[in-house]
Amino acid sequence: MLETLRNWLLTRRHGDSPDLDESQLPQPKTAGNQPLDKTRFIVLDLETSGLNHNRDEVIAIGAVAIRNNAISLADQFDLILRRPGLDISETVLIHGIGPEALTQGHETEDALLHLLDWMNGDPILAYHSAFDQRFLEKALKQTLGYTRNHTWLDVAELLPAMFPDAETGGRGLDHWADHFRLEISERHHAAADAMVTAELTLIALNRAMNQGILTLGDLAAKLKYHRKLQNMHRL
């Protein structure tokens, strides 16, 4: 499969721009009766040039897989994208990725194809996932013409749904990490943020299974119900 995709990239770079054959990529998995303790989850974090997904771009991708209810340290993704000339003056002090790193980064097409192949269509989790989802879907569509819908779950919803009485002092990733006494090795670094998000995800998944939420479909339904309750409380 990867060889076919590499040939597609070479053809594209030589001036011809055929459409990406999405059938060559893994099929995204929908939330069904997959057991939580057997499901491979992708926990993802992006660094971007800014907060506006219409104007700004993805500059780094960090991700780690959860497999068999454990973080797989041998199953990670950590790349800076090649974005020469991109204005990162407003955000470089946050993520620490400067112009030299963007010039020497991985070609965006190669990186995104590698990411899609590595994710294997598995469900994706992120903290405030709507942000990462918008940016990643934009990058995939603009760069590859890829438009498939993946299953996304928001860890910022998952944690309070599983721990409604937790007194965290706030709703941020740092607040939950402090609550569970987890260390973040390097904040606003995609791979480090993905790792602590994965640790929090494991805590929440174990709580879910202890409460009898045993499948991915059950978990998605729980989050939908929690979201409905939150919206009702805002009325």
Q: Where are the beta strands (DSSP E) in the chain?
A: 41-48, 58-67, 70-80, 124-126, 152-154
Query: pLDDT tens, position by position, for the chain (235 residues)?
Result: 556 666 666 666 656 656 667 777 889 999 999 999 999 999 999 999 888 989 999 999 999 999 999 998 899 999 999 988 887 776 665 676 878 888 889 999 999 999 999 999 999 999 999 999 999 999 999 998 899 999 999 999 999 999 999 999 999 999 999 999 998 776 668 899 999 999 999 999 999 999 999 999 999 999 999 999 888 877 6
Report how many helices (DSSP H) and strands (DSSP E) the chain contains, helices first: 9, 5
Find, among 134, 115, 129, 110, the residue nearest to 57 by Cα.
134
**Token reading at 122:** 């598995």
Residue 224: what pLDDT?
Answer: 94
Enumerate residues 6+ apart whose C-beta is below 8 A from 196: 173, 177, 182, 183, 184
- In CATH, the number for domain 39-234 is 3.30.420.10
114, exposed or middle or buried, with CB in 10 Å at 0-12, 13-18, 19+?
A: middle
CA atoms within 13 A on the CB side of 161: 27
Residue 100: what pLDDT?
Answer: 83
One-character DSSP codes across 67-87: ETTEEEEEEEEEEEB--TT--
**Token reading at 216:** 């991915």
- Per DSSP, the three-state class of 100 is helix
What per-residue string of b and e applies to 125-144 under the rule 16 or more CB within 10 Å gives b? bbbebebbbebbbebbeebb
Overall pTM > 0.95: no
- Domain layout of the chain by residue ranges: 39-234
Residue 210: what pLDDT?
Answer: 97
